[in-house]
Structure 1
Amino acid sequence: MDSRHLLCTTVYSTVFSPCGKFVAAANNFGHISLFNFEKAVTLNSLKWQKSIITFKAHDGPIHSLVSTKDCLLSGGVGPVAAWKWNDILERKPAKVYTLHEPSQGDEGSFSSNDVNVLACDETKLYAGRDDNVVCIWDFNSGKCERMLIGHTEYIHDIAIISPNGLVSASEDGSVKVWDLRMAQATTTIEPHQNKELSRPQYGKWISSVATDDNGQWMVCGGGPKLSLWHLRSQSQTAVLDCPEFTPYTTVFHENFIVSGGNTNSVHHWYTNGDEKASIPCGIGTVFSLTFNKKKNTDSAPLIAAGTSHKLDVFCNPSYRSHTLNL
């Protein structure tokens, strides 16, 4: 990309390759860039801090990337697209398949709704859309087998609880807990109704939701303050308070909660709600936080991305160690 485009670049999503040696980044111009992450952090060379390949994947912004053992999947404007990791690494990216989304009204028709967020497990792909629906595809058949309908505004974020459970966060101010066997919401949580969490000046929308590996705990926030919930009892257990902070991405990592948003910092909290650290980064607004869980180290490297053509790398959670450039 030329310098003018770089100045206007926003990276909405990053994901590590199955081997953990490479990282892909998707931006608002519909491009996917690939970095040799392993060499970038081990070799002191500007060469490896730049992308090794950038290719056009969508006609508009790409909002989300996820990875299976063989493919990279991208969601944004247009159909969800799948790309083989081996093809990308050989500098010959080509779409393996696309997943067209059925509309709400007619099973035989297809929609052109944007995908805001993707999540996947070994057998299914989940897509939160701007028409208020979560679509679920089966990888084996390639068909959309369920549509989760219940939100009244578009979906900002989703998180997998278990093979039979999912949570979704929406502009409508609610977080819904879904039983995928029935394709029905079993619980609706509205943080803005809680006086301890409500911030009317910022609205009621929920921009970020995450669950722990055991599916027992959930953290969510947006207009309301970031908060921790016990899913089975549907009870709020902690407030992760940070004045004027709006989260756009949140993850559980080890015994901590890590979040980025409208401040140029990465926030780390203990699960009791106390803030452990606020680490400065070079990104004005953070939209993506991705840990490299393939690395067998005490501290998994973290990549932060957002309103910049640069990606910040934290090999140690207490400081920014490297910068990658699109």
Structure 2
Amino acid sequence: MKATSKLQNVMCLRTKFPCQSDIYFVKIWDPSLRGSELRATLKGHTRAIRTISSDRGKIVSGADDQSVIVWDKQTFKLLEELKGHEAPVSSVRMLSGERVLIASHDGTVKMWDVRTDTCVVTVGRCQSAVLCMEYDDSTGILAAAGRDITAHVWDIRSSKQMFKLQGHTKWIRSMRMTGETIITGSDDWTARVWSLNRGTCDAVLACHAGPVLCVEYSPSDKGIITGSADGLIRFWENEGGIKCVKNLTLHTASVLSISASDHWLAIGAADNSMSLFHRPQERFGGFSNAGSKLAGWQLYRTPQKTAAVVRCIASDLDRKRICSGGRNGLLRLWDATTSI
């Protein structure tokens, strides 16, 4: 495909672009170019794109066509097409050393070598479809979960399974790994906090009235944020035991995506809207407001509604840039301070 120029600071997100031929695209946007933000359309997949990962030089996309495509981030050319899964691809993660982790509805997590276009090893196997995956490149710890209602944890450097984290009673939809902790969200209306040292459940967060569709870790205050099909956003604090310290009802439908940084928090929902929170930097030293650090999050603004459900958000929040993807296949790129 033809690309007009090389880019830095681009953002990418999955999309099914609606058109008569029903072709599925990856779209690349540059938020600094007002009025001409769309920089490239990457054509290669034949079904809906579910996941994207990238490093400095490459973009990796996975789709329902059971394939993973590796693209050059500068020229946008298709470099490799990795085929080896027997079901839709649900999650991809680009690793150092030209390798990529791929999770699929076939119940496996495989490591591929991009340079040789070969599957190096199957690093994890679940009993049913994998719906979410997390990996810590510094420790080599991989976690995956999905329809078998178990969160599986492996040390891929030693090729050993560490734990099977069991406790959820329905599908696990979301996962976040931070340090020695894994947070999972499930259709059983709960989120759970697990210890990677002991392989035990340290807490059950059970204050939602619907499936927990997204979980996030707030690095600035070491808190947890959950979003649910009940439309609620809940903030949890871990001081002397995990407790819910703040409830917000900003959306009229399911909360589908949460992305947090030290200063910014972006949320996407099924009511076709997003909400953006900010925490002023000067307040990070501590909070006396109700004794809660998480009380420091302030609603910054709510962008104009989109034409479709905001299913996913990719963001570089410290640069105040947000990319949202909708059910209608359109991607929107926002500047948190000006364009929304």
Q: Same fold (TM over 0.5)?
A: yes
Deviation string 1:67-107 (CA, Å, 9 cap, x unpaired) is: 4567656667698958475699432232266567469xxx9
Residue 116 of structure 1 corresponds to 131
1:53 to 18, 25, 42: 42
Unaligned runs of 5+ in 1: 1-17, 193-202, 321-326
**TM-score, structure 1 normalization:** 0.69
SS of the residue 1:268 aligns to: strand
Q: CA contact under 8 A between 1:64 and 1:116: conserved in structure 2?
A: no
Q: CA contact under 8 A between 2:70 and 2:79: conserved in structure 1?
A: no
Distance 1:173 1:22, change over 3 A: closer
Distance 1:74 1:286, change over 3 A: same
Q: CA contact under 8 A between 1:217 and 1:230: conserved in structure 2?
A: yes
- 1:21 equivalenced with 2:10 (yes/no): yes
Q: CA contact under 8 A between 1:176 and 1:188: conserved in structure 2?
A: yes
Aligned length: 279
Please give the alpha-carbon distance, in whole angstroms, between the structure 2 residues aligned to 1:148 and 1:242. Answer: 32
Segments of 4+ moved more than 6 angstroms: none
Map residues 77-226 of structure 1 onto 2, 5 A cutoff: 83=70, 89-95=76-82, 98=102, 101=107, 113-122=128-137, 123-138=140-155, 140=157, 145-162=162-179, 164-192=180-208, 203-214=209-220, 216-224=222-230, 225-226=232-233
Report % sequence identity.
Answer: 13
What is the aligned-residue RMSD (CA, Å)? Answer: 3.9
Residue 249 of structure 1 corresponds to 257
**TM-score, structure 2 normalization:** 0.66
Distance 1:51 1:69, change over 3 A: closer
Unaligned runs of 5+ in 2: 1-6, 83-98, 110-121, 279-293
1:276 to 271, 287, 300: 300
- 1:230 equivalenced with 2:243 (yes/no): no
Distance 1:32 1:235, change over 3 A: same
Deviation string 1:167-189 (CA, Å, 9 cap, x unpaired) is: 00000011110111232212111
Residue 91 of structure 2 corresponds to none
Q: CA contact under 8 A between 1:259 and 1:267: conserved in structure 2?
A: yes
Q: CA contact under 8 A between 2:12 and 2:323: conserved in structure 1?
A: no
